[in-house]
Amino acid sequence: MDSITLRSFPPITRAYLIVSIATTISCFINIIKPMDLFLNFELIFDYWNIWRLFSHIFFFGQIGIRAVLYIFFFSRYSKALESSSFQGKGLVYLYLLFTGNSMMILLKLFVPEASFLGPGITFMVIYIWGKKNAQQQINLYNLLYIRGSSMPLILMLSSLFLKQKTLKLDIMGIIAGHIYYFLEEIYPRINGGQKVLKPFF
């Protein structure tokens, strides 16, 4: 992914991609060890490894087809989401990612083995994009057309069929995306416009 291609992405998506790709390559050539990045509450609270609250979302696993696919899907749907629903609202989109990360950290309490939540962030973004573009037709692998709202489910079923170890992370991302969408879009409609999620800026 060259510099010209990266410049075509909106700022938050571009920054996330640069850090994710740099992190993955750095782990591959042993500049950084994945063990220094994973989410671990004991290391955070007992040894003040505060960076682990965020570093875990930038590593998608060792270089391979799975990591490439997650980065590809994030780049595609994050770009689409930030360029449309969040156009000119980069800080609001950053707040979305921050909120999603916080939700999945809480969900880790129920999935202790979840250590790298980058795949979850990807699925959260895909879920929110799908809800905002529910009727859009997507050509899936030139085999069939599906609606945008079905995209997360189809990808999750693919993970299940292929017996991917990241299935639980995918589900965590969908749950986080659903909670965010409900609080941001549905709850205000039934409560006179009052929002629960309010950016701190």
Instruction: Give the helix, strand, coil percentages of the chain, each rounded to 5.
Output: 65, 5, 30
| Confidence (pTM) | 0.92
Percent of the chain with pLDDT over 90: 66
Structural contact between residues 51 and 17, judged by C-beta atoms closer than 8 angstroms: no
Amino acid 1: pLDDT? 59
Q: Is the pLDDT of residue 201 over 80?
A: no
Amino acid 43: pLDDT? 97
Q: Both tokens of residue 19? A: 């850090």
pLDDT digits over 16-27, tens only? 999 999 999 999
pLDDT digits over 61-77, tens only? 888 888 999 999 999 99
What DSSP letter does each residue of 78-123 carry, written as one string?
A: HHHHHHHTTTT-HHHHHHHHHHHHHHHHHHTTT-TT----HHHHHH
Q: Both tokens of residue 197? A: 């999620």
Q: Is the pLDDT of residue 4 over 70?
A: no
DSSP bridge partners of 140: 144
Q: Is the pLDDT of residue 157 over 60?
A: yes
